[in-house]
Chain A
Amino acid sequence: GENVEQHPSTLSVQEGDSAVIKCTYSDSASNYFPWYKQELGKRPQLIIDIRSNVGEKKDQRIAVTLNKTAKHFSLHITETQPEDSAVYFCAAISGSNYKLTFGKGTLLTVNP
């Protein structure tokens, strides 16, 4: 089955800096890659996603890039703010079963 590796496990940045979280996947048939943000005690919230026919997608301060050849995808957050502090999970879906395989998560701390 699919295996998703996520790095780093923790990331601390100063407010205004950029943050990058990287994930790799194992199944070349994976075709959908969402990113979720989970604040303490809350549900995972979908923040951005990318499908395998696209190399990059941007939504305001958040962007995701996908390299299908290398089987990795990354989340980029620019101009970070304290409210960006949370755990971020990458995930992958292989085929049409919509089953998510998650990475282990990255705890992002944005220091004021």
Chain B
Amino acid sequence: SAVISQKPSRDICQRGTSLTIQCQVDSQVTMMFWYRQQPGQSLTLIATANQGSEATYESGFVIDKFPISRPNLTFSTLTVSNMSPEDSSIYLCSVLGEGEKLFFGSGTQLSVL
């Protein structure tokens, strides 16, 4: 299956700042997604990253807070803007891979002070 890498793997940030998370796949994929996993919780879909167009956001998530780029079929970024402690979570990218199955990246653990 595809190798999905995320950078950074973890970061500690100050409130009010922004962090951009990168997701790199070693093969072209049609669909990419971003999920959030709050401490001790399940995964929640933030948005679908559309190649060459604006991302599609789920209820409760907005572009101003979580801008997403997807310039090609192997790469996407998620920015967490104007961070607050409530944004402390693990952020995971996911891709539609072989067999039409969904696989997850290595994750980015974000702590906001």
Contacts and interface: CB of A to CB of B under 8 A. Distances in A.
Interface of A: 34, 36, 42-46, 49, 89, 97-105
A98 B31 contact: yes
Q: Which 4 A-B pairs have the closest CB atoms?
A: A43-B104, A102-B42, A102-B43, A104-B42
Interface of B: 31, 33, 35, 41-45, 48, 58, 92, 94, 96, 100-107
Main secondary structure of the interface of B (DSSP, over half): strand
B43 A89 contact: yes
A34 B43 CA distance: 14
Contact of B106 (A43, A89, A98): A43
Nearest to A93: B102
B105 A43 contact: yes
Given A43-B107, A100-B102, 15 more contacts: A34-B102, A36-B104, A44-B92, A45-B104, A49-B101, A89-B42, A98-B33, A98-B96, A99-B45, A99-B48, A99-B58, A100-B35, A100-B45, A102-B43, A103-B42
